[in-house]
Structure 1
Amino acid sequence: MQITLIAIGKTDRAELEELISIYAKRLQHYIKFEFRIIPDIKNSKNLSEAQQKEKEGELILAQLQPTDTLILLDEKGKQYTSMDFADFLQKKMNSGIKNLVLVIGGPYGFSEAVYAECSGKISLSKMTFSHQMVRLFLVEQIYRGFTILRNEPYHHQ
């Protein structure tokens, strides 16, 4: 299985970019991992929230292959403990899917077309985090999940 993380807009903090890169590199030890950035929509100030979600949705859907399993990072998604998230990853690997695609949307969320294509939604917290921080938290949790599955000493229960 491969995991692809897709996010809207580039990370504007070098410190966050460096930390994301550290965990992405660590993940390569366990699984094929790819982090794709979809550039911000140009002239988004001239668009309504709905129009921006539609345009971002088209760009997200254009990244997908028919065999991909799409999971959205969404405030209404299921919350997991780190142990439960590790189990979620194991079940996805056991199911034989080729590519698990996790998507962090833009500031207004996802279009209806993207919701229609997704297989599930995950929420990292009831709190709201910046989209920049969510990238780091998610990559770290994926890494943590694989260390849990391998019984490595990174996660302490």
Structure 2
Amino acid sequence: MSYYAKKIAPLCPVEVCLPRVKGGVEKKEERLRIEKKVLEKYFTEDEFLVILDERGQFLNTIELASKIEKWLEASKDLCFLVGGPEGISPELKNKAHFLLSLSSLTLNHEIAILVLMEALYRSFTILKKIPYHRA
């Protein structure tokens, strides 16, 4: 993950935050409520919020690059949220500007972040016309 953060940094400022919910919370609804409060500290209303969700929209690489370009025109900052083991609360999903799906498979959140970071790096190389992506 830090590998891609370093590769993205010259193309676009990037900050990776990995907040954790402390303590064992057994009820799904309670965990989602607590995670919502924690995650809300990491983005503002001014940012374009993209939440990763298995029911989100699938995009190919070129489509993602195009969306990123449009999102950056509309907002100065993008925020991508990946949920924990229980996903993301419905209330938080309602705040999203876009729901993105990386796969129809359920991915561990750490793997999802890695896949997202590579996809973002690939998208920025397309936008900056750096030879990395092969169509």
**Which has a greater percent of strand?**
1
Shift of 1:62: 2.3
Q: Residue type matched to 1:75 in 2? A: E
Q: Residue type matched to 1:42 in 2? A: G
State percent identity of aligned pairs: 27
Indicate the RMSD between aligned Cα atoms, in angstroms.
1.2
Unaligned runs of 5+ in 2: none
1:124 and 2:105 equivalent?
no
> Is the 2:51–2:99 Cα contact (8 Å) retained in structure 1?
yes
Give the TM-score, by structure 1 length.
Answer: 0.81
Secondary structure at the residue paired with 2:17? strand
d(CA) in 2 for partners of 1:103, 1:55 = 15
Shift of 1:117: 1.4
Aligned length: 135
> Is the 1:74–1:121 Cα contact (8 Å) retained in structure 2?
yes
Please give the per-residue CA displacement for 1:3-55, whole angstroms capped at 9, x wherever unaligned: xxxxxxxxxxxxxxxxx1111001011111000111233122xx301110110
> Is the 1:41–1:52 Cα contact (8 Å) retained in structure 2?
no
Aligned to 1:10: none
d(CA) in 2 for partners of 1:58, 1:112 = 13
1:79 and 2:38 equivalent?
no
Shift of 1:87: 0.4
Please give the per-residue CA displacement for 1:88-137, whole angstroms capped at 9, x wherever unaligned: 11111222x12211000011111122122111100001122211111111
Runs of 4+ aligned residues of structure 1 deviating over 2 Å after TM superposition are none
Unaligned runs of 5+ in 1: 1-19
d(CA) in 2 for partners of 1:129, 1:140 = 15
Aligned to 2:86: 108
Q: How does 1:1-157 map to 2 (within 5 A)?
A: 20-44=1-25, 47-95=26-74, 97-157=75-135
> Is the 2:53–2:100 Cα contact (8 Å) retained in structure 1?
yes
